[in-house]
Amino acid sequence: MARPRSEDKRDAIVAAAIEVIAAQGLSAPTATIAKAAGVATGSLFLYFQTKTDLLNAVYVALKSEMAVAVLDGVHAKDDVREQLFLAWSNWLQWATSFPEKRRALAHLGVSDEVTPQSRQAGHQAMAGAAEILERSRSGGPMRDAPLGFVAALMNALAEATIDFIISDPAHADRHRIAGFDAMWRMFT
């Protein structure tokens, strides 16, 4: 009789995968991930049938975690600029607080191993943030641009801002505000 699977072990495998992917990239062996998780390689495949399944689970987990962080404290009663500013600030805080997660998500974001279904799950997780973005651009010059294009521009601006915050933490607030102001001007 097969032993029941442990959520703690599954979570440990996902956490180890994030760490290993951030350090070694997507080509890191599953044996390295299993070792970092403290499980046998065979045990890893009890939780994830293939490495692709593991990579997809990590992608969805990271997107979901980031979405929760981005929307933390954002209230529907606030005006859209305030909502977007808080979501922006939360995003930058998450990315600078968890550099391994940011790096792993960057690797996964360009991977052909991440399935359309997982990408869709990631989009669903970020639906609340996307709704704020839609309202932010509704009357401005980006109102007719595809949402994916607008999100890509926002992501590029966020990545540049995050890099500056990391390299110049003494001026983190200045960079965060300047990045937001540039984005807001693009939308309105």
**Residue 22's domain is classified under what CATH number?**
1.10.10.60
Q: Mean pLDDT over residues 34-62, rounded?
A: 96
CA 2 to chain centre: 34
d(CA 162, CA 171): 12
Task: Tell me the average pLDDT of the chain.
Answer: 95
DSSP character string of 81-128: HHHHHHHHHHHHHHHHH-HHHHHHHHHHHT-TTS-HHHHHHHHHHTHH
Question: For position 175, which CATH number holds?
Answer: 1.10.357.10
Whether 54 is in a domain gets the answer no
* Number of folded domains that form the chain: 2
Q: What is the pLDDT of residue 6?
A: 85
Opening angle at CA 77, ends 74 and 80, nearest 5:
65
Q: Taking a C-beta distance cutoff of 8 angstroms, is the pair 63, 122 a contact?
A: yes
Please state the rounded mean pLDDT for residues 132-152: 93
Residue-wise pLDDT tens digits, 73-87: 999 999 999 999 999
Mean pLDDT of all residues in 95-106: 97
> Are 90 and 182 found together in one domain?
yes
* Whether pLDDT at 1 is above 50: no
Where b means 16+ CB within 10 Å and e means fewer, 34-52 reads bebbebeeebbebbbeebe
Q: Answer with the one of 49, 69, 84 that is the final residue of a domain.
A: 49
Same domain, 72 and 128: yes
pTM for the predicted model, two decimal places = 0.93
Give me the domain span that covers residue 37. 1-49
The reply to whether 74 falls in a domain is: yes
Q: Report residue 5's pLDDT band, with 50, 70 and 90 as the boundaries.
A: confident
Q: Do 97 and 7 belong together in one domain?
A: no
pLDDT band at 112 (very low <50, low <70, confident <90, very high): very high
- C-alpha 97/C-alpha 91 separation (Å) is 10
* 92 located within any domain: yes
Note whether residue 67 is domain-resident. yes
| Residue 168, in any domain of the structure | yes
- Comparison of pLDDT for 4 and 57, the residue scoring more: 57
Segment 166-174 shows an average pLDDT of 98
What is the rounded distance in angstroms from the CA atom of residue 44 to the CA atom of residue 53?
11
User: Distance (Å, rounded) from C-alpha 21 to C-alpha 58?
Assistant: 10
What 3-state class would DSSP assign to 40?
Answer: coil
